[in-house]
Amino acid sequence: MSHPKCFSKKNISHNKDILMIQVIHRAVDIIEYIATDVHKAHSLSEIAEHLKLNQATCANIIKTLVERNFIEQMGYKKGYKLGYMIYRLGNIGSFEEQLIKVSTDPMEHLRSKLNETCLLAILRKQNRVTIHQVNAERDLMVRSSIEKVAYNSASGRYLLAYLGDAELEDFIAKYGLPSVDEWPEATNETRFWEQIKRIRNDGYSKQVTPTHIIGFAYGIQKEGKVIASLSVYLPLSRLKEHGEKEIISSTIKTAQEIEKLI
């Protein structure tokens, strides 16, 4: 009597394997379809219809791909594009890859001048994502995670400040206002917009963390739109070594050099 039971378990396991393989195929199909036009935001209904998938099934697979950053939701009901993880893994000549290529030498020069950590970052969903980093050659230096909540970094705050007001309002509606841990000076709507206005007026952003790290960020523009941020991070105890004005002017000069190469 044990044989039918054993066969049943094997059969169930085999069916699960088949379902898993089908899901993987469908996930790859979704990525490949979105990749047919990387500039267009593809809607859920369009993707499901083209691939002949049940819309609920398609939505569940897309949700996982978005969570893993293989595709990116452009906004509420605004469709999907390839996510930054595809470009990081695939090295397929994305705009970000081109940006890294032209930024590498100027960032090395900036690091050589200040001997502090320099980051090149973009905005993805609610995060500031570092796409290139050069570290200070010191025993005590700043290291930063690849992804960090945009509210909680000088580079992320700069990128948010230079969104259009409507885009920024959509961002707040989707992700909420900063927590006290993320941006203590901007925890309600009035204070948030005051901080955004200050960054826009200053032309750069600055952050001092509870761990005594200070960061300065400036934007890299293309066709009048900020597409990335360049930032310098260092221990607060070394600020006097350079002077705030020197760090800011050096960062701005380097960002402008990168803009000429894009």
Residue in the structure block whose two tokens are 């701005």: 252
Question: In this predicted structure, what is the pLDDT of residue 247?
Answer: 96
Q: What is the mean pLDDT of residues 35-54?
A: 89
Distance CA 7, CA 260 (A): 67
Q: Are residues 170 and 140 in the same domain?
A: yes
Would you say 83 and 69 are in contact if contact means Cβ atoms under 8 Å apart? yes
Q: Are residues 255 and 176 in the same domain?
A: yes
pLDDT tens readout for residues 86-97 = 766 654 446 777
Distance CA 107, CA 105 (A): 5
Residue 16: which residues within 8 A CB-CB, separation 6 or more? none
174: domain CATH number is: 3.30.450.40
Q: Are residues 62 and 77 in the same domain?
A: yes
28: domain CATH number is: 1.10.10.10
C-alpha torsion sign, points 122, 181, 171, 199: negative
The H-or-E segment that residue 61 falls in is: helix 55-67
- Mean pLDDT value across the chain: 87
Domain around 57: 22-90
Q: Are residues 206 and 84 in the same domain?
A: no
| Count of the separate structural domains present in the chain | 2
Phi, psi of 179, rounded to the nearest 5 degrees: -80, 170
Report if residue 11 sits inside a domain. Answer: no
The H-or-E segment that residue 218 falls in is: strand 213-222
Report if residue 248 sits inside a domain. Answer: yes
Q: What is the mean pLDDT of residues 54-58?
A: 93
Share of the chain above pLDDT 70, in %: 88
- Domain finish residue from 90, 112, 137: 90
Question: In this predicted structure, what is the pLDDT of residue 139?
Answer: 67
Q: What's the pLDDT band for 9 if we cut at 50, 70, 90?
A: low
Phi, psi of 222, rounded to the nearest 5 degrees: -140, 125
C-alpha dihedral (86, 92, 94, 97), degrees to nearest 10 = 100
Report if residue 2 sits inside a domain. Answer: no
Phi, psi of 213, rounded to the nearest 5 degrees: -110, 135
If one compares 87 and 194, the residue with the highest pLDDT of the two is 194
Report if residue 152 sits inside a domain. Answer: yes
Q: What is the mean pLDDT of residues 96-110?
A: 90
Q: How many residues does the chain have?
A: 262
Q: Are residues 113 and 140 in the same domain?
A: yes
Report if residue 44 sits inside a domain. Answer: yes
